[in-house]
Amino acid sequence: MHLDQNVSDTLAVVGVVVAVLALLLAVAAWARLRRLRRDYSVLQGEGEAGSFVEAVARKTAEVEALRREVGSLGSRLERTRADVADAIRHVAVVRFDAFGDMGGRMSFAVALLDDAGDGLVVTSINGRSETRTYAKGVKAGVSDATLSPEEEQAVGHAMKGAAR
């Protein structure tokens, strides 16, 4: 019987150890469940704000709307750039004395060009008793009509502005 007493004692100790381990596991599981419930309640949200998942869904929809708007703005920007490239944006003026007996550089040549170098040159030659004004077309920085040195200088200055 003595052997049976040792087996009984060993089984009792093993049973107590298993019970303590089971109790520790139960306490750990209960603490983890409590943390999960707290985290879940944060995700569910309370009041007008709604749940975290709903908030993420709203923000995702807002981001998608913003992406569509940015895409639309990008295409509008390209159209605007094309329109601006065709606008007369490069202007240069060269003043000069057309006649040796007059001072003050009252005559001028002005070049009005777009980004491609297309536009016109307007020249005004001022004399003592009369003023004459001429306009010549320019395509890609070159005119079909013969340009005076002052007109060529004005076109050259305007083309430097177009190259920037």
Q: Are residues 109 and 46 in the same domain?
A: no
Count of domains forming the chain: 2
Q: Are residues 95 and 159 in the same domain?
A: yes
Q: Are residues 136 and 73 in the same domain?
A: no
| In-domain check, residue 135 | yes
Q: Are residues 108 and 134 in the same domain?
A: yes
Q: What is the model's pLDDT at position 46?
A: 65
φ, ψ at 145 (rounded to 5°): -80, 155
Q: What is the model's pLDDT at position 127?
A: 84
Q: How confident is the model at residue 163 (pLDDT cuts 50, 70, 90)?
A: low
Q: Judge if pTM exceeds 0.95.
A: no
Q: What is the model's pLDDT at position 14?
A: 92
| In-domain check, residue 19 | no
Mean pLDDT of 43-57: 73
Q: What is the model's pLDDT at position 146?
A: 93
Q: Are residues 71 and 102 in the same domain?
A: no
- Domain stops at, among 50, 85, 120: 85
| In-domain check, residue 131 | yes
Q: What is the model's pLDDT at position 48?
A: 62
| In-domain check, residue 148 | yes
Alpha-carbon distance 89 to 81, whole Å?
12
Return the exposure string of 38-70: e unless at least 16 CB atoms fall within 10 Å of the residue's CB, then b.
eeeeeeeeeeeeeeeeeeeeeeeeeeeeeeeee
**Residue bearing the bigger pLDDT, 153 or 38:** 153
| In-domain check, residue 34 | no
Q: Are residues 102 and 127 in the same domain?
A: yes
Q: What is the model's pLDDT at position 56?
A: 86
Q: What is the model's pLDDT at position 38?
A: 82
Q: Are residues 133 and 154 in the same domain?
A: yes
- SS3 of 89, please? coil
**Residue bearing the bigger pLDDT, 139 or 37:** 139
Residue by residue, DSSP assigns 96-135 as E-SSTT--S--EEEEEEE-TTS-EEEEEEEE-SS-EEEEE
Using the predicted structure, report yes or no on whether residue 3 has a pLDDT greater than 80.
no
| In-domain check, residue 122 | yes
Q: Across the chain, what does the average pLDDT equal?
A: 88
Q: Are residues 116 and 69 in the same domain?
A: no
pLDDT digits (tens, 9 = 90+) for 69-117: 999 999 999 999 888 888 899 999 999 988 877 777 889 999 999 989 9
Mean pLDDT of 36-65: 80
Using the predicted structure, report yes or no on whether residue 37 has a pLDDT greater than 90.
no
Domain range holding 112? 90-163
